[in-house]
Amino acid sequence: PRPILLTRHGESLDNVRGRIGGDSSLSEVGLLYSRKLASFIEKRLASERTASIWTSTLQRSILTAHPIIGFPKIQWRALDEINAGICDGMTYDEVKKNKPEEYESRGKDKLRYRYPRGESYLDVIQRLEPVIIELERQRAPVVVISHQAVLRALYAYFADRPLEELPNIEIPLHTVIEIQMGVAGVQEKRYKLMD
């Protein structure tokens, strides 16, 4: 059975600064992950005749895929991180201080809360529909290099997690989550490539 390999991009400069959204590049640590990921993928998919690498259109995702050679890469806008609208580029502390009402509403209902001029988790789930259809249609393995909120939605779909739990699922950096869909149901393995 064909695996789906899910990973966040390597640590970005905005991750280091604690800023949400943005389109920053990778930190040194993030660059190291991109190389570790490439050698992991090379070994893991060595026996596969075909496979493809799917990224978002954001720098940190594209740069994480960069060292992987030998497989076609596809950029999906639908894999871009949740759009934080007017809060894009802020830290959580800045949101709390400058937009206390927004901070509070999000805390009350993270799944349905929509950032002004941005998106909610429900919006993200909806825009992922074509990606999910395409993933299910694939006969070969797919490596998805995306972002925290988007991967929560994809993971919840494949691992059959309840909607209410979805916005708080832990998707750590520098870890590959492998999902296998077989006759016996869904199996999951995690590979922590770096601390």
SS3 18: coil
Alpha-carbon distance of 154 to 42, in angstroms, equals: 23
Alpha-carbon distance of 118 to 178, in angstroms, equals: 30
Tell me how far, at minimum, the Cβ of 24 lies from ligand F6P, in Å. Answer: 10
Binding positions for ligand F6P, rule: CB under 6 A: 20-21, 81-82, 84, 147-149, 167
Alpha-carbon distance of 99 to 169, in angstroms, equals: 25
Alpha-carbon distance of 145 to 8, in angstroms, equals: 6
Q: How many other CB atoms are found less than 10 A from the CB of residue 15?
A: 21
Residue found under tokens 């494949």:
158
Tell me how far, at minimum, the Cβ of 126 lies from ligand F6P, in Å. Answer: 16
Catalytic positions, written as ranges: 8-9, 15, 60, 81, 147
Token readout for 101 is 């009402």
Rg of the chain over all Cα atoms, to the nearest angstrom: 17
Tell me how far, at minimum, the Cβ of 179 lies from ligand F6P, in Å. Answer: 20
User: Which CB sits closer to ligand F6P, 71 or 115?
Assistant: 115
Residue 70: φ, ψ to 5°: 95, -5
Alpha helices in the chain (DSSP H): 13-17, 28-44, 59-65, 92-98, 100-108, 121-127, 129-137, 148-159
Tell me how far, at minimum, the Cβ of 92 lies from ligand F6P, in Å. Answer: 7
